[in-house]
Amino acid sequence: MGIESAEPGTVRPGGRTARVRAAVLEAAGDALAEQGFARLDLADIARRADVGKTTVYRRWGTVAGLVADLLSDMAEQSLPRTETGSLLEDLKANASLVRRTLSDRRQGALFKAVIAAATTDARTAEALHRFYEIRIAEWAPCVQQAVERGELPADTDGHEVIRAVSAPLYYRLLTSAAPLDEAAAERAAEAAAAAARAGCYRSTAGSGA
Amino acid sequence: MGIESAEPGTVRPGGRTARVRAAVLEAAGDALAEQGFARLDLADIARRADVGKTTVYRRWGTVAGLVADLLSDMAEQSLPRTETGSLLEDLKANASLVRRTLSDRRQGALFKAVIAAATTDARTAEALHRFYEIRIAEWAPCVQQAVERGELPADTDGHEVIRAVSAPLYYRLLTSAAPLDEAAAERAAEAAAAAARAGCYRSTAGSGA
């Protein structure tokens, strides 16, 4: 059942546009996960979404433009952070979310495809960087809260701590055949918390520690 | 000046074969860095290396086979680890080596290209995983030495500590536009050392810490 088959007059102003976007982005995500970036084709995505080809070309223009919009939507749709009252538990919640996303069949393939595309396509790289900035900024306040609770040095860089949680999971995904299990997620959270407590992510750091 | 122009009779047995391999792998690395995996072409690589096309097809068969051999050669050619007598200094040497490799124009592009290719090509993925296993195993003994010096818990997993040094550098390379500077390398080494000291990489760990 495609978007364009919605009965005329039953949709709020703006509703149809939003639903066309949702259908096209979902189809783009499916195609990316199945085929990778290099084989993406706007006409094929329009067919999958049951949306007119002209609409897709007019609205997104290029494959890179569509993928950039997909990443922007993924950032908007992502889950809000968890607040547990403890740095370690907050970081474990973050690590577990990243792990579940990357080990999900469709989502994992989609992230791999976009990261691969970003190595050659500047617009996709920019959209991917923006996606991570938004996600990191969503979680960074849990570090600030830990600072306020006295768990961490005052000048701890929250963005660096959150990046440190993700890094080993992405590294494992891209450079090894090892499974992304919960033990890996826990270890990533524990290591980031321990290094943060040791002062490694202080914004004035760079030696010592 | 190409390999095939070496005067007959001037080369040791085995020497010509080794030099053909070196020339073809260098040309393959150049092509990967410039164009990415998807545009690699054995005939073009043979031309760049000034080696007969038939030789390249006979010896490597496919682009994936050639890239796998390139990765195997890169693992063999990589620098041996540094031994400084201190865990933190050893890890800093490792981080600095990884950083220099990834920020080198040709090498950085080459690694990005191979990581991207590994997301879709199983043979390249296997060769890439093997490359990292070899490099991690080269450096892991510095962790064992730190254990023997009493710097770290006895059951610290050296491979995990070395992976923890690389992870933030690869994550930064692939997900952000931030430069891979020496401060990032130092921070990666310090964080891995701090987490290792806190027991996060004990092979029996998974909770606590």
Model confidence over A85-131: pLDDT tens digits? 999 999 999 999 999 999 999 999 999 999 999 999 999 999 999 99
Do residues A60 and A69 lie in contact, with contact meaning Cβ atoms separated by under 8 Å?
yes
For residue A50, tell me if it sits in a domain: yes
**Are A38 and A128 in a shared domain?**
no
For residue A126, tell me if it sits in a domain: yes
Q: pLDDT at position A10, please? A: 46
* pLDDT tens-digit readout, B70-109: 999 999 988 889 999 999 999 999 999 999 999 999 999 9
A-chain CB neighbours of B119 within 8 Å are: 36, 112-113, 115-116, 174
For residue A83, tell me if it sits in a domain: yes
Q: Which residues pair with A156 in a beta bridge?
A: A202
Lowest mean pLDDT among A177-191, B13-27, B158-172: B13-27
**Are B190 and B110 in a shared domain?**
yes
Least CB-CB distance to A175: which of B129, B160, B205? B129
Tell me whether B99 touches chain A (CB under 8 Å): no
Residue B12 scores a pLDDT above 70? no
For residue A145, tell me if it sits in a domain: yes
A-chain CB neighbours of B166 within 8 Å are: 171, 175
**Are A97 and A184 in a shared domain?**
yes
Flag if A175 and B200 touch (Cβ within 8 Å). no
Q: Which own/partner pairs from A38-43 qualify as long-range (CB within 8 Å, at least 24 positions apart)?
A: A38/A117, A38/B38, A40/A66, A40/A67, A42/A66
The more confidently predicted of residues B204 and A185 is: A185
Q: pLDDT at position A124, please? A: 97
Q: pLDDT at position A7, please? A: 47
B-chain CB neighbours of A174 within 8 Å are: 115, 118-119, 170, 174
Percent of residues, chain B, with pLDDT higher than 90: 86
Chain A residue nearest residue B130, CA to CA: A176
Residue B6 scores a pLDDT above 50? no
**Are B32 and B119 in a shared domain?**
no
**Are B179 and B103 in a shared domain?**
yes
HEC-encoded secondary structure of B135-178: HHHHHCHHHHHHHHCCCCCCCECHHHHHHHHHHHHHHHHHHCCC
- Per-residue pLDDT, averaged over A152-157, amounts to 97
Query: What is this structure's pTM?
Result: 0.90
A-chain CB neighbours of B161 within 8 Å are: none
Lowest mean pLDDT among A1-5, A190-194, B29-33: A1-5
Tell me whether B18 touches chain A (CB under 8 Å): no
Residue B10 pLDDT class (50, 70, 90 cuts): very low
For residue B3, tell me if it sits in a domain: no
Q: How many structural domains does chain A have? A: 2
**CATH number of the domain encompassing residue B179:** 1.10.357.10
* pLDDT tens-digit readout, B126-149: 999 999 999 999 999 999 999 999
Q: pLDDT at position A14, please? A: 67
Tell me whether B171 touches chain A (CB under 8 Å): yes
Tell me whether B137 touches chain A (CB under 8 Å): no
Q: pLDDT at position B14, please? A: 67
- Domain limits for position B40: 15-66
Do residues A191 and B195 lie in contact, with contact meaning Cβ atoms separated by under 8 Å?
yes
Flag if A191 and B201 touch (Cβ within 8 Å). yes
**Are A186 and A91 in a shared domain?**
yes
**Are A97 and A179 in a shared domain?**
yes
**Are A56 and A103 in a shared domain?**
no
Count of residues in chain B? 209
For residue B20, tell me if it sits in a domain: yes
For residue B72, tell me if it sits in a domain: no
**Are A125 and A168 in a shared domain?**
yes
In angstroms, the separation between the Cα of residue A144 and the nearest Cα of chain B is 19
Q: pLDDT at position B132, please? A: 97
Closest CA to B91 of B158, B11, B17, B14: B158
Token duo for residue A48: 């999958």
Q: Give the largest CA-CA distance in chain B.
A: 67
**Are A133 and A91 in a shared domain?**
yes
* pLDDT tens-digit readout, B154-209: 999 999 999 999 999 999 999 999 999 999 999 999 999 999 999 999 997 544 43
* Alpha-carbon distances, residue B8 vs A124, A202, B15 (angstroms): 51, 62, 11
Cα distance between residue B32 and residue B45, in whole Å: 10
Q: pLDDT at position A205, please? A: 52
* Alpha-carbon distances, residue A200 vs A85, A88, A152, A197, B151 (angstroms): 22, 16, 10, 8, 18
B-chain CB neighbours of A176 within 8 Å are: 129, 132-133
Flag if A171 and B170 touch (Cβ within 8 Å). yes
Percent of residues, chain A, with pLDDT higher than 90: 86
**Residue A124: which residues within 8 A CB-CB, separation 6 or more?**
A37, A64, A67, A68, A71, A114, A117, A118
* pLDDT tens-digit readout, A21-72: 999 999 999 999 999 998 999 999 999 999 999 999 999 999 999 999 999 9
**Are B121 and B178 in a shared domain?**
yes
Angle at the Cα of B160 from the Cα atoms of A143 and A91, rounded to 5 degrees: 20
For residue A202, tell me if it sits in a domain: no
A-chain CB neighbours of B198 within 8 Å are: 190-191, 194, 197-198
Flag if B177 and A119 touch (Cβ within 8 Å). no
Q: pLDDT at position B44, please? A: 97
**Are B126 and B193 in a shared domain?**
yes
**CATH number of the domain encompassing residue B51:** 1.10.10.60
